Homo-oligomer: A and B are copies of this chain.
C-alpha cells in the first residue's frame, strides 16, 4: 500500500508546484492525486498517494518550510486503523461491521465493543472480540462517561464508532475525540422533531427513509456529514416496517462512511466534509 500525504492549508498561488517540487526532489512518484479548493474560505486540500522510498522526517520538514505556517500536513503509511465500537441494543450496525472485520474487508482492526447493555455480548463473542458491559443505571452521566472514556483511553483507538449507541454524549466526552467519533442516525425528508420519529413518518406517509453518517462534534447530531442514503417505502409498511427499512439503510450508510474515513479519503473543514472518492 502506498504512502499517503494529506495537506490542508490556506490557498495561495503555486501550492501544488511547491509540494510536487519537494516530492520530485525526493524521487517520489505520485500514484494518485486529488486536490480541492474551498472557495468561500480559500482553503486548499490535497490527498496524494506516493510510491517510492519515503524519508518521512526530512520530507515533512521540507514540506513545512515550503507551505504556509497554518498548513496541516500528515504523512501516513496508510496503516490499518484501530477502532472501538459503542453499541446499545440494536445489532444491525454491529453485525455489519463484525462480518466485514472477520473477512478483512474493513481496513481496520476492531479492538473492542463497549455497551451500556448486555444483549450484544453474545454476537460480539461469536467473533472472538472483547465485549465490555458498562451499565449506566445507578450511575450519574458523568460517572458513566468517565468509565467509558477510561476504557477508550486504554484502547487508544484511532476512531470511535457509535454503531447505534443510544446515549447522548456530553460535550466533555466529545471534546478529546472531536471529529474522531462517527455516528449514524436515521434521517427523513422532511425531518420530524421530537419523540417516535418513525410513528410521525408513518402518520405523514413518507415515501423515503434515509440515514446520515457524520462526525460528532459539540452539537451531537449536527456534525459534518460523511455519507447519506435512502430507501423507498410505501403506505403498506407499518411503523415497524419503516423502522426495519431505517435499520437497513443505516448499516449500509455507516459501513460506507467508515470505509471513506478509514481509507483517509475524508477531510473536515468547518462543519462539512471534503471527500475524495
Residues in A lying within 8 Å of B, measured CB to CB: 13-17, 20-21, 23-24, 27-39, 91-92, 95-96, 99, 102-103, 105, 123, 126-127, 187-191, 202-208, 210, 212, 221-222, 224-230, 232, 234-236, 238, 244, 252, 270-275, 277
Q: How many copies does the complex hold?
A: 4
Given A99-B99, A189-B188, also A35-B39 (CB < 8 A): no
Contact with A37, one of B31, B187, B191 (Cβ below 8 angstroms): B31
Pick the contact of A17 from B17, B123, B252 — CB < 8 Å? B17
* Bound Cα distance from A114 to B103, whole angstroms: 20
- With both chains docked as a complex, state the minimum distance between the C-beta of A213 and any C-beta of chain B, in angstroms: 9
Query: Are A275 and B17 within 8 A (Cβ)?
Result: no
Whether the pair A272, B235 counts as a contact (CB closer than 8 A) is: yes
B203 pairs with A230, CB closer than 8 A? no
Q: What residues of chain B lie closer than 8 Å to A20, measured between beta carbons?
A: 14, 16-17, 20
CB neighbours of A244 from chain B (8 A)? 105
CB distance A23 to B17 under 8 Å? yes
Report the minimal beta-carbon distance from A224 to chain B, rounded to whole angstroms. 6
Question: For A190, what are the chain B residues with a Cβ–Cβ distance below 8 Å?
Answer: 187, 191, 212, 221
Task: Indicate if the CB atoms of A34 and B34 lie closer than 8 Å.
Answer: yes
The 5 closest A-B pairs by CB, nearest first: A205-B272, A191-B191, A187-B189, A17-B20, A17-B24
Q: Complex: how many Å from CA A206 to CA B209? A: 16
Q: Are B228 and A206 in contact, CB atoms less than 8 angstroms apart?
A: yes
- Please report the C-alpha to C-alpha distance between residue A203 and residue B270 in the assembled complex, in whole angstroms: 8
- Which B-chain residue is minimally distant from A191 (CB atoms)? B191
